[in-house]
Amino acid sequence: MGQLKLELARQDGAPQYAGLYTLTPQALVLNARIGSVGFAWVWPIGVVATRAGVSQRIPIVDATRWVQFSLWFSVVVAGLVIWLDRRWKSGATARKKEK
């Protein structure tokens, strides 16, 4: 089995032309490789719009990423609440038995 190699990089896509604008998409790429097996995760982060030599970066809000983050955060919080509730109940019953 090979060594795990992680790489996180910003990557520009192929420029597209729309009227007087040159639009270049940007993405954040996470590459994970173990031996000859690899996995890539790509997040869109913005578009660079260029007109007459003046560039402007337009950020992209990735709604899917926010939904995924919210779901995972909710699962972690719910798990923590359940764990604390069970721990509190088991501690309360143990204290009652001691008395």
Nearest-angstrom CA–CA distance, 25 and 17: 12
Question: Residue 74's pLDDT is what?
Answer: 96
Q: What's the pTM value of the predicted model, to 2 decimals?
A: 0.59
Question: Residue 88's pLDDT is what?
Answer: 87
Q: What are the average pLDDT values for consecutive 10-residue runs of the chain, which has 99 residues?
A: 88 95 95 90 92 94 87 95 90 62
Decide if 26 contacts 46 (C-beta within 8 A).
Answer: yes
Mark 64-82 as b/e (b = at least 16 C-beta within 10 Å): eeeeeeeeeeeeeeeeeee
Question: Residue 98's pLDDT is what?
Answer: 61
**Helix or strand run (H / E) with residue 67:** helix 63-98
Sequence spans of domains, the chain: 1-60, 63-99
At 4, the amino acid letter reads: L
Gyration radius from the chain CA atoms: 24
- For 19: left if phi > 0, alpha if psi spans -120 to 50, otherwise beta; the answer is left
Decide if 26 contacts 47 (C-beta within 8 A).
Answer: yes
